[in-house]
Amino acid sequence: MRLKCMALVLMVLSLLPFTLEAQASGTVVQTNEETVVYDNRSGSLIQVGTLSAGQTFVVKKDYGANWWQIRWGDFDGFVSKRYTTIVPAKTYKNDVKWQVKVTNHITATGVTPIFDNTGNKLVQFATLSEGVKYPIYSKGGDWYGIAVNSRLGFVHSKYVVEEKNEVTTGKPTKPPVENKPTPPPVQSTPNGYIEATENAILYDFRRENKTMVIATLLKGQQLKVENAEDPTYVKVRWGKTFVYVEKSKVKFVNTPSYKNVGKDSAMKNEYFIPISGNSEIYDRSTGKLIPFAKLDTNRRYPILRKEDSWYVTTIGGREGYIHSSKIALDRGVPVLMYHHLLKKHELGRFTNVSTTMTDVQFANEMQYLKSKNYETISIYELQQFMRNEITLPAYSIVITFDDGLLSTREYAYPILKKHGFQATQFLITYRNEYSPEEQRFDYTDLQALSRQDINNMRDVFSYESHTYNLHDMIGRTGKMLLVPYREVVQDLKRSLAIIPDAKALAYPFGQYNTNTIYAAREAGFTMGFSTKLGYNNPFDDIFQIKRLSSDQQTSFAQYQKMVSPFAK
């Protein structure tokens, strides 16, 4: 066994980028999508950050067919060539010599955005992973300058902790524009503010074909304009994104009548959900509570700060207060995990098995979601949400099934279809590939869906991967963790040959490690689902998506509490 383990370690090490002969390169690459930066100094690939999609970087060295080497702080990082394209020239201007000696460091307390400040606004071009230690190149106000390869970036002090008793020796450089969390927007119109001539809805258009009402600006109230060039809508900042109001319902004014100016982009990665019909936010700058906007009770709103019993948010550069009794703290989007369904009299050997529940229990759970107006969202919308590209209704939920079992055809499919719900199946595609067409259901056995079954249920289910044929246990360890790395990649690619549109992988038995994640990325997956309990929020790791499950022992009250978007 020790010889086998040693052989496996040597095989993994042979795949790491430091084993290849390096050649110097001034190549410029552009990232096609968000691309992970790895540290290989421990002998394993450890994620230390990401490069944002569409950004350019001058690589330090070319490592053959699979890897680029870049300078990541005071060590070398590696990015996969798979997610990059060579381009003629870099698109940024903030060059820096990373060789300058530095001694001070910061440590990221969470996923930390890195910004370019050379334009009229801050542009995120990379992130630091939680817990990563990084040298400081310069400091100005609330911002730290750091050298990402040969590009100067800025991180805000709220995301990091600085090590004490050290002196920064890096070359001084300018702080971000105006030394603020975000520079003031460039006005595209001489009229910098709007005033509602009637109650005016603020819309978010980022969800495809699903316009979302974010708030209502009350008649006579004002907000700061971000852009007014569109013939129909005025653009207003909201957090790190924008909302839109119809021009026909506002007028332009040159100066604001309010004093409670707020910085939308300084919002924390924390959110609240209004739980009261009285969901107005108030201006308190005069000592009185003056409502200026009404929030939607099925939305999550970013938190700027808390003051005593009040939470503060911002819309359009204006701070709004809402009392803590009117809100609940958002805990993220729940992802439900199911496997096998049977009628009560069919349970037999599946009685009290955690991966099996009755059709009646499942029906009651789905009926509850319907009664509370939950929206079942796709895993791709979840991905967008976790990348902070869209917001989602507070009452959003993802429904998943592992293993691709025939019982989902018999019991889950008609219930989901009845309620107009969508769900995702994670298929062990080897089993589905060889399942007979038009098979009869046998409740005493675990049967896999056939290709015919899969195609017949596409109006409810989307299909993702649970591997091709790695869903087995060897002792207490999943087979996926024991076979050679290259075999894992080949298995996953074979799975994609059967479900070519798949972009997500559910790890068998919830077991995975760093190399598993990298194999999934190399095979072409962009999401990974675990069995870790919890909820999912913006900037969480999309290759470690958390899930929740109920079983035969779960009470209905426990289920209601579990799926709630906030703790009750």
Domain 335-563 has CATH 3.20.20.370: yes
Domain spans of the chain?
2-179, 209-327, 335-563
Query: Which of 140 and 166 is assigned the larger pLDDT?
Result: 140
**Tens digits of residue pLDDT in 367-401:** 999 999 999 999 999 999 999 899 999 999 999 99
pLDDT at site 7:
41
Q: How far apart are CA 74 and CA 561, in angstroms?
A: 46
Taking residues 80-86, report their average pLDDT: 84
**Tens digits of residue pLDDT in 455-473:** 999 999 999 999 999 999 9
Contact 528, 505 (CB under 8 A): yes
85: exposed, middle or buried (Cβ count in 10 Å: 0-12, 13-18, 19+): exposed
Does pTM surpass 0.95? no
If you search the block for the tokens 């307390």, which residue do you land on? 109
pLDDT > 80? residue 564: yes
Model confidence at 6, pLDDT cuts 50, 70, 90, reads: very low
User: Given the DSSP bridges, would you call strands 423-427 and 396-403 parallel, antiparallel or unpaired?
Assistant: parallel
Q: How far apart are CA 236 and CA 317, in angstroms?
A: 8
Taking residues 403-411, report their average pLDDT: 98
pLDDT at site 109:
85
Q: How far is CA 352 from CA 357, 365, 489, 551, in A?
A: 8, 18, 35, 8
Q: How far apart are CA 250 and CA 36, in angstroms?
A: 44
Which residues partner with 236 through β-bridges? 243
Amino acid, res. 477: T
**Tens digits of residue pLDDT in 170-206:** 443 333 433 333 333 333 444 599 999 999 999 999 9
pLDDT at site 103:
66
pLDDT at site 170:
40
**Tens digits of residue pLDDT in 101-129:** 556 889 998 788 999 888 777 888 999 98
Q: How far apart are CA 416 and CA 425, in angstroms?
A: 13
Amino acid, res. 178: E
Tokens at residue 67, please? 């890897």
Q: How far apart are CA 404 and CA 502, in angstroms?
A: 14
pLDDT at site 225:
95
If you search the block for the tokens 């008793």, which residue do you land on? 165
